[in-house]
Structure 1
């Protein structure tokens, strides 16, 4: 019986018609590439800490993690940039002994004309109308009321007990990232119709941000509880050395990492870091992970870094699911507010930041930030020498897609096959593979991957591909798989070698000697 059946017994005697269905030649890889947002929840959030939870709407995020919490605000930024792909939340309890960030808005002078205070808390616009009859205490109360009327904000407000002309702000959640909440006025300026009413005196926190927030969450239990669930795109808003190390170990290439040979789950970790140019250069120099991409953010951006992280992750997921090999450049980070024109990184700074292992962003024509280069922090090989093998997110994203395609083809078509040498004579329909059959399968898969724009150079792939039986284990097949990953158009350089007039001698040499003019009457 040359045909290899998986279920119908070879010694069956009962007539007549029996059929088993085999899907091995029909299936296509259909893995669901989820995003995972990681952040601190508040005490009134209903979700248990450290356990991943699927989220389908902002209302669900608010209920599960607490309105205004770090994680709830991350979902707000995520949904503004990605409405279509599956996303989960991983809530973290507030760190033990953590402190909330605080700051004060002081109303020092009453206005001489009516107008609107254009206040921004964490990049969110909070308009407060004032009139000439309002006192400083009345205005302070109006500001506090306007803030508290929006429970989605990451702060609460209370009028100061002493004097009644100050508004004390307190972050809703306790962690060091509470210090990322900016307090500012008139983001769009007078050209955008925003200016402080005449005569009104307001004093904001000196740094422009809430201060005093402390506490970094522990990720140990949360990472353990992720188990073997696939989470391809992780938004992780903490950039201290311990946090980055924990997530690099979970997603890296060690035996226990998600890119390691045992787990084969793959994935990427995204983050963001606010700082001056000098601080970010020093920060980037100390990093070296192929699975982590940290976006550099100017100090003056009103949007918290944890919302930058969520927006970056959302756009990365949305684009890389469609095509993991296309660059992420020019993808807009919606609802994220950039630094002012005079406060943005310039060309030299952006180029240096990208050369120091940080992802970079710049401003698009719509005055919103857009991804400029999805750099990872990988910069050095194991011997500390400069290396660019993993410098771009698209490299590992493309490789993950290729390996998943290959795994699906092999595990679907050859799940219970026998292994023989090339040249073995066996009947058609037998569940037998040889190195040559597998090599042909890999070449066919490579052709499909090339057709959809993931790889190139089929001839050299064939030349370098090796499939052989292990000399010490007759049941093992070893493969050297050498894909040539397709690249991206990232730089378009032009030498515009202009002329005011081409030299006629050169023209003659190119097109030959000039001819006498054509005479239409004589035909000559």
Structure 2
């Protein structure tokens, strides 16, 4: 009986026995997953550190509290991408932290009635204004309107014409949350004058190691992380490196966002160097950074799942509101792309689009400039190639014996040789080429080495050199005109 059966032993009872084996089926698949870290309110029903699948914003408001950071992040993610399965790991506020606060100060009373549109983190609240309202009345009405909008990430209190707006959560991530009026140039009652001071003073973000530990050994392909403080990013980058390594092989790309001046953003980018962390420089976008990270992560996850090698440029960042003015010009954005910061462009109608989704990786282990992991497509494509190789080998040779090339074993035996593995890898590379993930087939074949390990005769080693397909990003022409 030279054929290697999996489940049929030697038998004496009559009958026809047929087993099924999927080694030649050749179909590999994976379910891509995204995970969001963020803060919950005590009104939420899901406790800290429990990975929870979320499929609509209403669930998020129930699980993590209406108006919570996670409620807002999930709403933005699911609006931009309702396809990729997304799990959420809630964090409690840091008990030692402080909440950011800002002010809305009414400096002159209205002379006509109308409606005031106050924007909190890019979300509009309408306030009815009477022509005889005093300064204190306007402030009281603004505070009441904000508090009535329970979906907002803030609460408000008015005193002596000043509205104090306080974040629902503690932590520095809410610093810079914008307060202003008439983002879309809505008319304001005559005579009314108001000044705004964005939220500041927040301190003490939660520790993301709680969320990292909660991920366990589940493979999440994309992580949305709202925090950009040094300690949390260090913990996250360490975990990303570990997951990408050959002993875990559950690589993930993490998305964050940073708001600040051009100089501050460049300095921030220069302080990081990870092929798996992509930080979008928002240039003071009206949408809060934790929501920008969720939007960017959602758009990237949807499209990278379809094709890891295809660039993300021009894709719409659904739900992201850019700065009202003072948007970075091309030269400024270009400089940030040398500082590890991903960039976006703004259409005339205010639509935000990905310009170039780079990682923060900038230098190699020797501290020298290195562009090998510049674009997010590189680690994403390598991740998919590795997965397909692993899955194909595991499916084709799940319980095989190992022999040298040239062994005269019987047909149908569950035996694999280096030559068979080499043929499998070559066939798989042809598939990568057809998918548009790789090129240079002949060179790949010539460079491919597959051999049996000298010390461990139960092991096959290989070295291959996949030539990853690049992305069409820059087109340059020189026109020499003739008169």
Give the alignment's TM-score, normalised by structure 1: 0.90
Distance in 2 (alpha carbons) for counterparts of 1:122 and 1:113:
27
1:278 aligns with 2:274: no
Q: What's the CA shift for 1:347?
A: 1.4
Secondary structure of the residue that 1:362 maps to in structure 2?
A: strand
Q: What's the CA shift for 1:460?
A: 0.4
Distance in 1 (alpha carbons) for counterparts of 2:275 and 2:243:
12
User: 1:261 pairs with 229, 246, 251, which one?
Assistant: 246
Distance in 1 (alpha carbons) for counterparts of 2:263 and 2:102:
26
1:83 aligns with 2:82: yes
Q: What's the CA shift for 1:104?
A: 2.1
Secondary structure of the residue that 2:431 maps to in structure 1?
A: helix
2:446 is matched with 463
User: 1:352 pairs with 296, 321, 335, which one?
Assistant: 335
Distance in 2 (alpha carbons) for counterparts of 1:352 and 1:167:
39
User: 2:370 pairs with 387, 393, 396, which one?
Assistant: 387
Distance in 2 (alpha carbons) for counterparts of 1:230 and 1:366:
39
User: 1:331 pairs with 315, 318, 324, which one?
Assistant: 315
Q: What's the CA shift for 1:27?
A: 4.7
1:376 is matched with 359
Is contact 2:55–2:78 with CA below 8 Å preserved after alignment? no
Q: What's the CA shift for 1:52?
A: 1.4
Residues 189-236 of structure 1: CA distance to partner in whole angstroms, max 9, x if unpaired? 2xxxx132210021212xxx1112111111223211211111111011
Is contact 2:49–2:89 with CA below 8 Å preserved after alignment? yes
Matches within 5 A, 1:327-476: 327-341=311-325, 343-476=326-459
Is contact 2:226–2:257 with CA below 8 Å preserved after alignment? yes
Residues 236-267 of structure 1: CA distance to partner in whole angstroms, max 9, x if unpaired? 11112211110111111xxxx11111111111
Secondary structure of the residue that 2:35 maps to in structure 1?
A: strand
| 4+ long deviations beyond 3 Å | none
Distance in 2 (alpha carbons) for counterparts of 1:213 and 1:361:
27
Is contact 1:435–1:467 with CA below 8 Å preserved after alignment? yes
2:195 is matched with 203
Residues 466-521 of structure 1: CA distance to partner in whole angstroms, max 9, x if unpaired? 10011111111001021111111010112122223xxxxxxxxxxxxxxxxxxxxx
Matches within 5 A, 1:278-297: 278-297=263-282
Secondary structure of the residue that 1:258 maps to in structure 2?
A: helix
2:7 is matched with 7
Distance in 1 (alpha carbons) for counterparts of 2:140 and 2:231:
42
Any unmatched runs of 5+ in structure 1? 501-524
Aligned pairs, number:
483
Q: What's the CA shift for 1:141?
A: 2.6
Name which one, 1 or 2, has greater alpha-carbon Rg.
Answer: 1
Give the alignment's TM-score, normalised by structure 2: 0.97
1:239 aligns with 2:228: yes
CA distance 1:451–1:365, shift in 2 (3 Å): farther
1:152 aligns with 2:151: yes
2:37 is matched with 38
Distance in 2 (alpha carbons) for counterparts of 1:481 and 1:225:
35
CA distance 1:118–1:498, shift in 2 (3 Å): farther
1:53 aligns with 2:67: no
1:310 aligns with 2:294: yes
Distance in 2 (alpha carbons) for counterparts of 1:356 and 1:399:
23
